[in-house]
């Protein structure tokens, strides 16, 4: 069954989005919001530049190298008690999983048919190599979420700041 639900990015309201590209979140961590899922991951500097350069999922081997490096950064941020950096690294791990799954599920990673009122395209037409890459990122993402120090820091942050 193909749903006819338009992607959320079509009505994106940049002004009300809590993450801003002109904020240095290392210098102004109090302005960071944990949010849901991967929100803010492609905006929050300097973390976007520090972590994003390693984010790759083309093959399982590339995903292994990428997720290992990002997890290494995650652990360093946790050790330094840098919740923003740790949360951003966790988001990149999660995004590695979700984007690789998108390419595993849909040919070319395209989920919506722009020429047909953004109807959802057929699943199961994607790249099987990406499914293995998604599994790699999934394991690292869950490992990051299970880190007790990170979980404690994140809960305290959300209680205090949102």
pLDDT digits (tens, 9 = 90+) for 73-91: 999 999 999 999 999 999 9
Name the percent of the chain lying above pLDDT 70.
Answer: 90
Between CA 72 and CA 133 the distance in angstroms is 18
Assign 1 a pLDDT band (cuts: 50, 70, 90): very low
Q: What pLDDT, on a 0 to 100 scale, did the predictor assign at position 105?
A: 86
Residue 62 neighbours by CB under 8 Å, 6+ apart: 56, 133
pLDDT score of 4 more than 60: no
Domain boundaries, the chain: 39-160
Confidence of residue 117 (pLDDT cuts 50, 70, 90): confident
């Amino acid at each position: 069954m193909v749903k006819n639900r338009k992607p959320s990015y079509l009505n994106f309201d940049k002004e009300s989005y809590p993450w801003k590209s002109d904020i240095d979140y290392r210098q102004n961590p109090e302005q960071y919001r944990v949010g849901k899922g991967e929100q803010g991951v492609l905006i929050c500097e300097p973390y976007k530049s520090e972590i994003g350069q390693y984010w790759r999922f083309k093959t399982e081997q590339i995903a292994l190298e990428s997720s290992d490096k990002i997890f290494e950064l995650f652990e360093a941020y946790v050790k330094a008690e840098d919740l923003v950096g740790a949360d951003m690294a966790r988001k990149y791990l999660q995004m590695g999983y979700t984007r690789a799954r998108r390419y595993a599920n849909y040919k070319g990673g395209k989920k919506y048919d722009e020429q047909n009122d953004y109807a959802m395209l057929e699943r199961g037409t994607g790249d099987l190599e990406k499914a293995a890459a998604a599994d790699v990122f999934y394991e690292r993402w869950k490992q990051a979420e299970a880190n007790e120090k990170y979980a404690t820091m994140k809960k305290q942050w959300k209680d205090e700041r949102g």
